[in-house]
């Protein structure tokens, strides 16, 4: 009865075909049975950007959301695009995946940019047995996780300047998140998994690495991040003042000033 009452006010999820309808066919790369949304721009040395959302199809299989599954997905996209070697950038959860890829496939990634990143162990540490059942995940996503208020809260936690979190920004995030398969993605990332926790010795990262952090990050403390990043042998740490968890969005000019010399280096 409680579930039925809660679902009466739930958010709706758009069918994936409808969400992708206005996008050009060349926007998608097929990896196995999955269509992956890839935005391409610019020219020169490839730079791969890993972020947390988009129009990629969300498969039902929980194995797709393990580190191994996401590794196969990223490498599959690069293979389809004919990219043998690239520079790799990852933000937040995408930074944890970028670290994992740099450690497991050092020959494919020659330079590493980490932005307010997690560690690979983060994904394993936040799993909960509560979400082994799909109906629980469905209830959590549709009544709470993807509500406007929850998305706005997450953005305010990510930005230092709360005035930047406008209804338009919340709407832009919502339209990419409220897509068919969101429940499976949530369950795959948060629910229990047979994949063992992945520790990573940062001293094994051999690529030149730049770690960029917003000094006012409320999600991952800058002092702890600076200390951990010092373990990367070729690493350099830069903090951006008056900036939160998403410096490339909140402080783009200062962010580009910090990262472009590193990325453009031969």
Q: Which pLDDT band, with edges at 50, 70 and 90, does 5 fall under? A: very low
Helix (H) or strand (E) holding 182: helix 182-190
pLDDT of residue 169: 97
Encode pLDDT of 54-97 as tens digits.
899 999 999 999 999 999 999 999 999 999 999 999 999 999 99
For 112-139, write each residue's pLDDT tens digit. 999 999 998 887 888 999 999 999 999 9
Which of the pair, 122 or 146, is modelled with greater confidence?
146
pLDDT of residue 1: 36
For residue 201, the SS3 value is coil
The share of the chain scoring above pLDDT 70, in percent, equals 97
* pLDDT (mean) for 229-252: 96
> What class has domain 2-264?
alpha beta
Please give the biggest Cα pair distance in the chain.
Answer: 62
Q: Output the pLDDT for position 72.
A: 96
Residue 199 pLDDT: 85
DSSP three-state, residue 242: coil
Confidence at residue 2, expressed as pLDDT on a 0 to 100 scale: 43
Pairs from 40-47 (Cβ < 8 Å, separation ≥ 24): 45/86, 45/87, 46/83, 46/85, 46/86, 46/87, 47/86, 47/87, 47/88, 47/89, 47/263
Domain coordinates in residue numbering, the chain: 2-264
What does each C-alpha distance from 9 to 4, 120, 146 come to in angstroms? 9, 35, 12
Residue 44, Ramachandran bin (φ over 0: left; ψ between -120 and 50: alpha; else beta): left
pLDDT band, residue 172 (cuts 50/70/90)? very high
Note whether 71 and 198 are within 8 A (CB).
no
Encoded tokens for 183: 């429940």
**What pLDDT is stored for residue 4 in this prediction?**
42
Nearest alpha-carbon partner for 36 in 47, 45, 46, 51: 51
Report the distance separating Cα 27 and Cα 40, nearest Å.
Answer: 8
**Residue 9's pLDDT band (boundaries 50, 70, 90)?**
low
Mean pLDDT rounded to a whole number for the chain: 93
pLDDT in tens, 206-231: 999 999 999 999 999 999 999 999 99
Confidence check: pLDDT of 155 > 70: yes
Q: What is the pLDDT of residue 54?
A: 86
pLDDT value for 91: 97
pLDDT band for position 176 (cuts 50, 70, 90): very high
Spatial distance between the Cα atoms of 249 and 241, rounded to a whole number of angstroms:
14
The structure's pTM equals 0.92
Residue appearing with tokens 């069918």 = 15
Q: H-helix or E-strand containing 109?
A: strand 109-115
Within the chain, strands assigned E span 28-31, 34-37, 47-50, 86-91, 109-115, 209-214, 235-240
95-114 pLDDT per residue, tens: 999 999 999 999 999 999 99
């Amino acid at each position: 009865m409680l579930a039925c009452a809660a679902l009466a006010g739930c958010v709706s999820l758009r069918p994936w075909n409808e969400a992708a309808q206005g996008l050009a066919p060349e926007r998608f790369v097929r990896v196995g049975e999955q269509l992956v949304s890839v935005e391409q721009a610019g020219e020169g040395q490839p730079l791969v950007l890993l972020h947390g959302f988009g129009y990629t199809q969300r498969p039902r299989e929980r194995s797709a959301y393990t580190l191994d599954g996401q590794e196969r997905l990223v490498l599959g996209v690069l293979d389809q695009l004919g990219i043998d070697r690239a520079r790799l950038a990852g933000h937040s959860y995408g930074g944890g995946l970028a670290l994992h890829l740099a450690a497991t496939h050092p020959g494919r990634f020659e330079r590493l940019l980490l932005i307010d990143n997690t560690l690979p162990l983060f994904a394993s540490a936040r799993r909960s047995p509560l979400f082994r059942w799909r109906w629980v995940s469905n209830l959590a996503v549709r009544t709470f996780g993807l509500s406007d208020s929850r998305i706005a809260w997450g953005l305010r936690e990510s930005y230092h300047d709360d005035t930047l979190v406008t209804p338009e920004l919340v709407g832009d995030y919502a339209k990419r998140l409220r897509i068919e398969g969101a429940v499976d993605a949530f369950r795959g990332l948060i629910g229990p998994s047979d994949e063992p926790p992945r520790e990573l010795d940062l001293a094994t990262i051999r690529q030149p690495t730049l770690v960029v952090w917003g000094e006012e990050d409320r999600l991952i403390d800058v002092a702890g991040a600076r200390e951990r990043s010092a373990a990367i042998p070729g690493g350099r740490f830069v903090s951006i003042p008056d900036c939160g968890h998403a410096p490339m969005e909140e402080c783009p000019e200062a962010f580009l000033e910090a990262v472009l010399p590193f990325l453009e280096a031969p």
